[in-house]
Amino acid sequence: MALEPHATRNWKLLTRRSVILGSLQLSFAGVLALRMKHLQIEQADQFRLLADENRINIRLLPPKRGEIYDRNGIILAENEPSYRITLVKEDAGDVKAVLANLSKLVPLSQEDIERTFGELNRSAPFLPVTVTDRVSWDDVSRVGINTPALPGITPEVGLSRRYPLSENFTHLIGYVGPVSSRDLEQRQSPDPLLKIPRFQVGKSRIESHLEDRLRGRAGAKHVEVNAVGRVMRELNRQEGAAGENFKLTVDADLQCYIQARLGEDSASAVVIDCQSGDILAMTSSPSFDPNKFVRGISYSDYDELLEDKRKPLVSKAMQGAYPPGSTFKMITAIAGLENGFITPSSTVFCPGHLEISGKKKYCWKRGGHGKVDLAQSIRESCDVFYYDLSLKVGIKKIAETARKFGLGVRHKVDVAVETEGLIPSKEWKKRVRKANWVIGDTANAAIGQGDVLTSPLQLAVMSARLATGKNIIPKLVKSAEDTLDTKEIVPDLDIDKDSLQALQQAMFQVVNDRNGTAYKSRIIEKDYRMVGKTGTSQVFTITEAERRRGITSNEDREWNRRDHALFVCYAPADNPRIAVSVVVEHGGGGSKVAAPIARDIVLQALYGNDPPSKAYPVKDREAIQLRQKELRKLRPNLKNIRKTRA
């Protein structure tokens, strides 16, 4: 049947539309097929890699921190297993309720709870956050038994720092603590390890100064995670490298003895090997327990340390800067001898004072010493002899000699903070004080007063160089693989041997001559006789107002206005093995307070244990025996302290 004209037009139109639509569909299918080919074949490797990267995450594994030992292998800083309780927010549900239940099993402070909420808010919900650490095994057991009632809570085990000799080595080793925002800000490119929650880093002293070497290198584990980042399983693990172990030159037994001997005094002492420069002991008192800082010290404990007028947080042996008093007189004497201004037989008359620029400079002995030569000036510590000598020598040569003997310089012994002290000069006073140098300044400096400041470490170095005539360099830290008995060639100081010998003989008389200022602290045992010099450095002069109130002596004043007591020495006299410095803050006279402490330290170091009574003067023996008995109670039993296996 023939179609009508309008039907024919409709059919042709429908056919043309079908062809166009079919062509478009065919073109789209062709493009889609080409795109699928490109993705599935040509870019298959790239998308396979992207899929693996999304599926596999890398997690850091904290390394074992390097340990620290004394020269004999006794452990001073070790790692111990530390149990901690962690919480995963998304598994816990009601975090507040979970923590409330946990607090019934494990002691939790309000500070712990607040810190936990703070870390939960900063962390992803699937990451574990430490609620509390260093908990006991009993606590871990209770948590394990009650796991069904504690969703999201998991007990874990890690490593934490421990200092078995606590207060005895705080000012040498320092301590570690959790990473703070300040720790991260101080580093340009912080190690990713430092971003692990509650990771411990060195905060002070050796722990801080050698942080990069003690920390070690992180390990890694590959874990499979789902689309939201939750860990599904561990695929493989690569352990990191443990931190480097270090051995100190110090002797733990001697260090602990000295810490006990200093007691509650605000004091410090340094012992140096006269041949190698090894620091055998370096103590500061009072001290504090560094273990409190490892997990975070409480505000009350920290405030107590800050408010203590004896400043237990300060390492006095290295950071303390004190007028050296009469212990500086050997420097002035050598400057005079070396530059030809005096000889050992030169004399000065001491009437008890010397007038300089119209002002009287008094000797400590107001009645005067009479005619004094070099040996007597050291033996009896005559000030006038050195006032007179300072007018000839001048501050420039005195300062040069002081630096040659280790004063006014940093010795860089790896404890991070160390004072340079101060050996003043004309240029220094002009720059700092905006004033001209006067001759009275030189006279004050010549007897270790005025602006002169030194540390106990510097005084011990000075003593070692006086004992040997060699450029002794103090050493404290060595790698655990190094040996401590390596013989190094130590160069001689540029000092005339006759000048040095004259000073050594004079210092011998200080302790061993009846007129010497330290005669009461002599050592009787001939093979161990001590050579030394007393010092008393004035902190404040007694004012006229104080005199009117009846304050006429050092003992009448408040503790923090009294003089410092100092003593420097070396022994044995004929073959020096050790040099010692002792400073007792506001202790009074060096001969009365510091010298007896130094004698005990010398004998303890030379004998290697409690010395026999025969080493002491007869009248002192009973008191010494009682003191030794008391000190043994205060010292830790090193037999119970772990030693390195090396």
DSSP class of 454: B
Q: What are 423's two structure tokens? A: 């050996």
- For residue 615, give every residue at least 6 positions away whose Cβ sits within 8 Å of its Cβ, in sequence order, or none: 523, 524, 525, 528, 603, 607
> Of 344, 353, 425, nearest to 387 (Cα)?
353
Query: Checking DSSP bridges between strand 128-135 and strand 75-88, what pairing results, if any?
Result: antiparallel
- For 400, the 3-state DSSP assignment is helix
Q: What are 253's two structure tokens? A: 């037994």
Q: List, in sequence order, every residue forming a beta bridge with 158; answer none if it has no partner.
A: 82
How far apart CA 517 and CA 535 sit, in angstroms, is: 9
Q: What are 69's two structure tokens? A: 């030992």
How far apart CA 590 and CA 582 sit, in angstroms, is: 9
Q: How far is CA 615 from the centre of its chain?
A: 35
- Listing DSSP states for 91-108 in one string gives HHSSHHHHHHHHHTTS--
Helix segments in 162-277, DSSP class H: 170-173, 181-185, 205-209, 211-215, 252-262
How far apart CA 538 and CA 532 sit, in angstroms, is: 20
> Of 464, 462, 432, nearest to 448 (Cα)?
462
Q: What are 169's two structure tokens? A: 């080595």
Rounded to the nearest 5 percent, the helix, strand and coil shares of the chain are: 45, 20, 35
How far apart CA 336 and CA 333 sit, in angstroms, is: 5
Cβ pair 232, 226 in contact under 8 A: yes
Neighbouring CB atoms inside 10 A of 32's CB total 10
How far apart CA 238 and CA 221 sit, in angstroms, is: 6
Gyration radius (Cα) of the chain, Å: 36
Which residues form the catalytic set? 326
- For 579, the 3-state DSSP assignment is strand
How far apart CA 209 and CA 176 sit, in angstroms, is: 11
How far apart CA 615 and CA 554 sit, in angstroms, is: 32
Sign of CA dihedral 424, 428, 434, 437: positive
How far apart CA 234 and CA 373 sit, in angstroms, is: 82
| Interior/surface letters 55-85, b for 16+ CB within 10 angstroms, e for the rest | eeeeebebbebbbbbbbeebbbbbbeebbbb
Q: Which phi-psi region, left, alpha or beta, contains residue 117 (left: φ > 0; alpha: ψ -120 to 50)?
A: alpha
> Of 517, 514, 523, 506, nearest to 589 (Cα)?
517
DSSP class of 238: E
How far apart CA 508 and CA 511 sit, in angstroms, is: 6
Q: What are 46's two structure tokens? A: 């790239």
Query: Checking DSSP bridges between strand 564-571 and strand 578-584, what pairing results, if any?
Result: antiparallel
How far apart CA 294 and CA 241 sit, in angstroms, is: 22
